[in-house]
């Protein structure tokens, strides 16, 4: 034991001496959980990362980087409804695409993942649909294959190629029913599986899951997540001389966690390991940036930390903070190719003729074909939205709406930001017709700022009439289920006939400000209400910012037109102390 800790001390000392590059966490800010990353020398020394997407479509975003500092969205592996029709019928926000692993082998990229029907019973044999997507060119979204399905009754599946060419999959059974990490051989072309066997149960933490196997110095290392995806989340590791085991636990597990600390980055776990061009080791993991009130509406993000892994020894992970010192990182040009943008870039569009909605736009489940059009005839430089019968909650806040929900969005990727979109409201003619902007986590957790037609009762001097109202509504289950109208005010009569800019701003990390103004008259803006970030702190996803159009269950389909969509990131907060010094907090 003394020798083990002496080795650990010397390894730490060497690591401090060798680190000479700084970078900022998170490397993939916003809704990018369950990261898996690889380095592919054959592709111009490029790093590729995959993320989980749950019920967001397109799904399984793929980011690429040349320097581990700037990551560009290059494609989504799940980008066509026919690849996975079941995603559009899946209930419950914790369902959908879980824990995608990306790997590269002999010229082909593989993404192995699980489509989970999380509303099914824990022991249902059809609860998990495991999938293998492949491509020869990850920069071409259309090049991703239809998936090969395989019948493993679990989730978090990850491939490993052994020296003899055998491909193994590790995964996790529904841990509430039968805990432990399982392994089996597989034919990646057909999905044919060998016998399934348990190889390790972890160190005793709940929910042993997220397994990956690596081979180094004659040892097979099995790294997993334990403790659930909340405050007890952690990374543990074991090793064996045979891939089949038995696996011995690392003596200083967990090898990575921020549990029990006051670090800003919490819920740390579900890690993957890779080497850079200089053969140095890194780990990526999911984490949340938890505010002083416990909120983290941006959800589970991707962080990175250097790893020291001496020959024949256990890997040693650096603690995860906002500002990190890591192995030397070469600077160079940003990744070229792909149809997306840098993950933390600002965004602006006027939807000019010929503009294509790129891979950064997101829907909740599949979009309804025909409900979105760029620069339709007579409405050039706009995005047409055809209203849906359902609003963003839908009939029960969980189910897939048969006729869809008209909502298009992009991820929130900055702690502090300003988002706005100009909406044409002249098409509203009937009661409960509504258009607006939303900060959306899922159907049971969102805040909407809309303009809606509502009936003003008759008075002694006026007949009952429809009046446009600005309304902020929210729905959340945190800390208890509520569905309130937060604020509602009549639109000023002097604004009639004017184009209106609807906005959502985060000027601190605990609340969203919902405001509206006539276009070109920002000084006349009205702050209609606020949304509490704690109300968007739930489940597995992260905040989306977008526009919607709905009849709220009524008749009278209509179209509205969106122009001048703008998102400006103001600050990436990665330490509470710096935020307090500069801004403080407020509670409106």
Catalytic residues: 34, 209
**Residue 368 to residue 388: CA distance in whole angstroms:** 9
Distant-in-sequence, close-in-space partners of 497: CB < 8 Å, separation ≥ 6: 426
- DSSP assignments along 392-409, one per residue: SSTTTSSSPPTT---EEE
Angle at 480 between CA 434 and CA 482, to 5 degrees: 25
Query: What are the backbone angles phi and psi of residue 44, rounded to the nearest 5°?
Result: 55, 40
DSSP 492: P
User: Taking Cα atoms as reference points, which of 449, 445, 512 lies closest to residue 476?
Assistant: 445
Q: Are strands 526-532 and 56-57 parallel, antiparallel or unpaired?
A: unpaired
Q: For residue 275, how many other CB atoms are within 10 A of its CB?
A: 16
**Residue 484 to residue 535: CA distance in whole angstroms:** 12
**Residue 212 to residue 270: CA distance in whole angstroms:** 10
The SS3 of residue 51 is coil
Q: Which two tokens stand for residue 212?
A: 């990956």
Residue 467 vs residues 424, 437, 452: alpha-carbon distances, Å: 16, 19, 8
Q: In whole angstroms, what separates CA 91 from the centre of its chain?
A: 18
Place of tokens 């416990």: 294
CB 8 within 8 A of CB 316: yes
DSSP 330: -
Residue 26 vs residues 63, 269, 511, 569: alpha-carbon distances, Å: 14, 13, 21, 15
The SS3 of residue 10 is helix
User: Taking Cα atoms as reference points, which of 146, 144, 188 lies closest to residue 166?
Assistant: 188
User: Taking Cα atoms as reference points, which of 171, 177, 227 lies closest to residue 204?
Assistant: 227
């Amino acid at each position: 034991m003394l020798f083990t800790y002496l080795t650990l001390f010397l390894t730490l000392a060497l690591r401090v001496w060798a680190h000479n590059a700084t970078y900022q966490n998170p490397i993939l800010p916003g809704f990018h959980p369950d990261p898996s990353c690889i380095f592919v020398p054959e592709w111009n020394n490029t790093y590729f990362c995959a993320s989980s997407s749950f019920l967001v479509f397109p799904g399984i975003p793929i980011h690429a980087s040349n320097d581990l500092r700037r990551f560009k969205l290059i494609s989504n592996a799940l980008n066509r409804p026919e690849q996975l029709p079941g995603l559009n019928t899946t209930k419950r926000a914790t369902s959908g695409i879980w824990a995608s692993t990306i790997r590269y082998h002999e010229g082909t990229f593989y993404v192995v993942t699980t489509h989970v029907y999380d509303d099914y019973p824990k022991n249902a044999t059809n609860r998990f649909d495991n999938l293998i997507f492949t491509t020869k060119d990850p920069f071409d979204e259309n090049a991703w294959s239809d998936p090969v399905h395989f019948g493993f009754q679990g989730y978090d599946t990850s491939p490993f190629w052994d020296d003899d060419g055998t491909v193994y999959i590790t995964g996790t059974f529904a841990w509430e029913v039968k805990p432990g990490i399982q392994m089996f051989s597989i034919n990646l072309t057909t999905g044919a599986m060998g016998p399934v066997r348990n190889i390790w149960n972890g160190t005793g933490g709940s929910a042993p899951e997220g397994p990956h196997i690596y081979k180094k110095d004659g040892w097979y290392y099995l790294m997993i997540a334990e403790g659930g995806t909340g405050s007890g989340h952690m990374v543990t590791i074991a090793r064996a001389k045979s891939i089949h085991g038995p696996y011995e636990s690392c003596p200083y597990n967990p090898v990575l966690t921020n549990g029990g600390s006051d670090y800003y980055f919490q819920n740390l776990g579900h890690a993957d390991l890779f080497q850079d061009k200089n053969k140095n080791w890194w780990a990526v993991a999911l984490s949340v940036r938890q505010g002083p009130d416990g909120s983290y509406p941006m959800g589970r993000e991707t962080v990175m930390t250097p790893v020291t892994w001496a020959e024949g020894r256990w890997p040693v992970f650096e603690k995860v903070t906002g500002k990190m010192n890591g192995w030397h990182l070469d600077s160079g040009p940003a990744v070229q190719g792909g149809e997306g943008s840098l993950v933390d870039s600002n965004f602006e569009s006027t939807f000019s003729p010929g503009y294509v909605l790129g891979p950064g736009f997101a829907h909740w489940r599949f979009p309804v074909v025909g409900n979105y059009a760029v620069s339709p005839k007579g409405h050039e430089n706009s995005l047409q939205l055809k209203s849906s019968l359902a609003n963003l909650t839908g009939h029960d806040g969980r189910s897939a709406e048969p006729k869809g929900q008209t909502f298009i969005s992009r991820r929130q990727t900055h702690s502090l930001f300003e988002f706005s979109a100009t909406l044409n409201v002249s098409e509203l003619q009937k009661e409960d017709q509504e258009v607006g902007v939303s900060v959306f986590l899922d159907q049971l957790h969102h805040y909407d700022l809309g303009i809606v037609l509502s009936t003003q009762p008759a008075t002694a001097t006026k007949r009952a009439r429809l009046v446009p109202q600005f309304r902020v509504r929210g729905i959340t289950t945190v800390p208890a289920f509520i569905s309130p109208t937060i604020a509602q005010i009549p639109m000023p009569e002097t604004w009639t006939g004017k184009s209106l800019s609807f906005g959502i701003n985060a000027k601190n990390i605990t609340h969203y400000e919902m405001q509206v103004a006539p276009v070109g008259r920002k000084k006349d803006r009205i702050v209609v209400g606020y949304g509490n970030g704690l109300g968007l702190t739930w489940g597995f996803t992260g905040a989306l910012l977008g526009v919607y159009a709905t009849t709220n269950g009524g008749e009278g389909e209509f179209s509205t037109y969106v122009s001048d969509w703008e998102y400006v990131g103001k600050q990436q907060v990665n330490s509470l102390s710096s935020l307090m010094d500069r801004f403080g907090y407020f509670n409106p």
